[in-house]
Structure 1
């Protein structure tokens, strides 16, 4: 409905023109390589997860960490492996969510933790960590946007230096990680999270069926594959690699390696392997459709120039000490409405930097506010690919994930906004 209404407005309220625009938009989307690869990734993830489960890899992981090594013995411990994985796997936000979700699902079911809480942990570590440790596509985009402002003569210096300075002011990312850790450590459930559905535990997880290698090796192949393909697609420079291409080919190769490995281990017949792969892929079809419509809404918002319209509200009359706070809020609104942090960075950084220069405000603080706002809005948006993939990886609905994590995100954003105001006053 959002796509239909948006196209109707763009077409000057002509039903026929709106219909033609919508058809053209979806044809254009489905002709884009990165869109098709992302949709294929979503479907193949379902195959990987189902294969790991049916092979006994999930039971092997639980037995290894809970029984054999006694590392996971409580609700607190059940979510910590996902939190740690979310921080360590910073190469690509989709893979971060996938790995964290795969690790946490069996432990959450065993210790009576809702899948929504797991999705919150996956989502609250993936994008924030990727924006704090920019040795990935995020860093490449931000370096390019900052470099454009240097080329234009608005600021002087090196892109990498400015990026590192802005990371120190990425307050939302820091707050999101801190709030997530506190929510895990003290087992805090607030708002809708208290009423989130809990998946009954699988009693088979109590025995030693399967083996941890059946779970661990596919994870290693996925992480290693993304790193390798980021370097390959970037011609030796990981910063210039293609995230969508990397995760697509990584999943294809991972499925091939899993077929060989599971047959050597004799845990699945060829027939059982393809049956599980097809079942998992079929279960992810609705998620792929949600992603497709999310991309369409992003295109509609871009054509309507939503970001530029909102940015026009910031003018010369805004006191310089409050500029960072205003940029943070505006970037959050744009990211929430469009479902993309990267698109928000592309809109807001070229606006935030000239504003900071013109108002004699701290430039790095303004950059940090634009990045923080983009991450926050994307974090909360139900049409964000990161939100959708975190819900998918954790096994809960997008609607439940969105409403249950919102209170935590708002708390993190509240503290971040206060810090932007304080630092704006002090540094200005």
Structure 2
């Protein structure tokens, strides 16, 4: 059993768990993440205000505004907008399309096995944002998969399994900014350090990436995927009843006519982000990367990426300042939803900490749940929420606000709890037919959405099973 080292149980007792429970219940029932997080925030402030709903609403608004007043929170929210601007710029200046054409013309792919390996590798390389990963890998690989008679369902599985899993393992992208922001809001002493420790413990993400690689290298077909592969070898790209969601060109429009397609327009900004991130960590940490500011460093790193993308565009005269501003604002606007989720997540985290939710949950489960089962339980509960809501980001927002205080109250390191939440969010998202990444994977691969879900779930369940066993082992070793 868990040896508790608890402080005095939170004043609000059972009421302290109601805000996250409301957020979870509404998210599952309505599938509206914004509404669910806002309702949880309101209820939390209502409890603090002595159950006065009007005073709770006013306090919730003040709390949300106060969240923006924190410099660290503001940095990660601005970072999210800048990521959108960067993505839009490398699309508009021909960087993304140039990379796609470069890979196609290099003729590295001469057979079906190499086509699958290339799709997997491209998914590993493009880690700025999950949807961009899917679109690039799908655009590059789809003609090759059709040429070598590999099912589009397998392409959808590979690009889906190398999008969110690789993005959640990288601290300097939109996913990393979200996690670092929530960790900082939960007053974790060293958010980046905890994130880095959690990376190898993020067992579902690691398992999903390795399994997708194994499938690509060994052409391992399982269950419905085997039938899809047999159909494609017969020359039929889709089942008779299948309907592709839409033309992938609709969500990744080509650059303007006359813009040269240059792969360096995407590769150089990404490389600039990767190289500058540890440099800024070293600077902000006064010579120590471990002591650096994660929120400051990721913001500066993406600013370097945006600046490089703008300089390349201006130097090549593919876009002028007016065009760059317009494209950047449009791209930033495309990630407004993510920024709002982050904002609400930080606000919910603050009010649950004020209520002492983590300490209360620790007191309840401490003597009832052995540690060997606690970490897997966090993973399973998180998976269920993500599956029901189709939102890994919204799930992170809800569960990290519970899991981190729980770890602190039990006197345990937070990294395994963080890893279990991140893994659960990705696992549930992979299996959910209403997930945006699952839908875009179907779209980018030009395959039927339900067929993608059917063929992917057996692989996801295998990786999820491995993760569950692994988390039990982690719990037993704590």
TM-score (norm 1): 0.67
> Hey, what does 2:46 align to over in structure 1?
11
* Separation in 1, partners of 2:109, 2:259: 16
> Hey, what does 2:165 align to over in structure 1?
124
Deviations 1:62-85 (A, max 9, x none): 121111343497662453134432
Deviation at 1:217, TM superposition (A): 0.9
- Helix, strand or coil for the counterpart of 1:210? coil
* Separation in 1, partners of 2:418, 2:371: 14
Deviations 1:166-206 (A, max 9, x none): 98876445433334435656587999xx988464358979x
> Hey, what does 1:246 align to over in structure 2?
297
- 2:58 aligned with 1:20, yes or no? yes
- 2:123 aligned with 1:104, yes or no? no
* Separation in 2, partners of 1:173, 1:352: 26
Go from structure 1 to structure 2 and tell me whether the alpha carbon gap of 1:6 and 1:85 turns closer, same or farther (over 3 Å shift): same
Deviation at 1:31, TM superposition (A): 0.6
Match of 2:313 among 262, 274, 284: 262
* Separation in 2, partners of 1:170, 1:284: 25
* Separation in 1, partners of 2:396, 2:457: 17
Deviation at 1:345, TM superposition (A): 6.4
- Helix, strand or coil for the counterpart of 1:339? helix
RMSD: 4.9
Match of 2:89 among 46, 51, 58: 51
> Hey, what does 2:125 align to over in structure 1?
85
Contact preservation (8 Å) 1:30, 1:36:
yes
> Hey, what does 2:421 align to over in structure 1?
374
Match of 1:328 among 376, 397, 400: 376
The aligned runs of 1:322-361 (5 Å cut-off) are 323-330=371-378, 333=381, 339=397, 346-350=404-408
Contact preservation (8 Å) 1:97, 1:389:
no
- 2:264 aligned with 1:216, yes or no? no
* Separation in 2, partners of 1:46, 1:35: 18
The aligned runs of 1:28-47 (5 Å cut-off) are 28-47=66-85
Deviation at 1:308, TM superposition (A): 3.1
> Hey, what does 2:28 align to over in structure 1?
none
Contact preservation (8 Å) 2:416, 2:474:
no
Deviation at 1:373, TM superposition (A): 1.8
> Hey, what does 2:468 align to over in structure 1?
417
Gaps of 5+ in 2: 1-34, 146-151, 172-176, 225-241, 386-394, 430-434, 444-448
Contact preservation (8 Å) 1:170, 1:368:
no
> Hey, what does 1:291 align to over in structure 2?
342
* Separation in 1, partners of 2:442, 2:75: 21
> Hey, what does 2:326 align to over in structure 1?
275
Gaps of 5+ in 1: 90-94, 131-135, 148-158, 355-365, 383-387
Deviation at 1:255, TM superposition (A): 2.4
* Separation in 2, partners of 1:242, 1:394: 34
Go from structure 1 to structure 2 and tell me whether the alpha carbon gap of 1:181 and 1:345 turns closer, same or farther (over 3 Å shift): farther
Go from structure 1 to structure 2 and tell me whether the alpha carbon gap of 1:46 and 1:272 turns closer, same or farther (over 3 Å shift): same
TM-score (norm 2): 0.61
* Separation in 2, partners of 1:308, 1:284: 34
Match of 2:103 among 31, 49, 65: 65
Contact preservation (8 Å) 2:166, 2:209:
yes
Contact preservation (8 Å) 2:98, 2:262:
yes
